Amino acid sequence: MPIVTIQVTREGTAPDRPSVTAEEKAALIAGVSEVLLRVLNKPLESTFVVIEEVDTDNWGWGGLPVLDYRRQRAAKK
């Protein structure tokens, strides 16, 4: 009965995608469920997966909203 919660920022993986696509969500669900099956022998039908998409304003890193932090890190390089 594992529960896997995946928290990611609400962003796309390519410039023309505003957010994670349904296909990518399905691939995340399949992928982590298979990890639980392979490592701990948990049957697929006993694993729940919850994906939480978090607005970039609501995600902090380095003491800053994440987009500001990324800009700061890019500027330093």
Which residues contact its own copies (rule: CB under 8 A)?
1-9, 13, 20, 22, 24-42, 44-45, 47-54, 57-66, 68-69
Which residues fall within 8 angstroms of residue 33, CB to CB, at 6 or more apart? Answer: 4, 44, 47, 49
Among this protein's residues, is 15 annotated catalytic? no
DSSP state of 4: E
**Catalytically annotated residue among 2, 18, 43, 65:** 2
CB of 75: closest distance to its own copies in angstroms? 15
> Closest Cα partner for 11 from 66, 61, 62?
66
**Closest separation between CB of residue 43 and its own copies, Å?**
9
Report the catalytic residues.
2
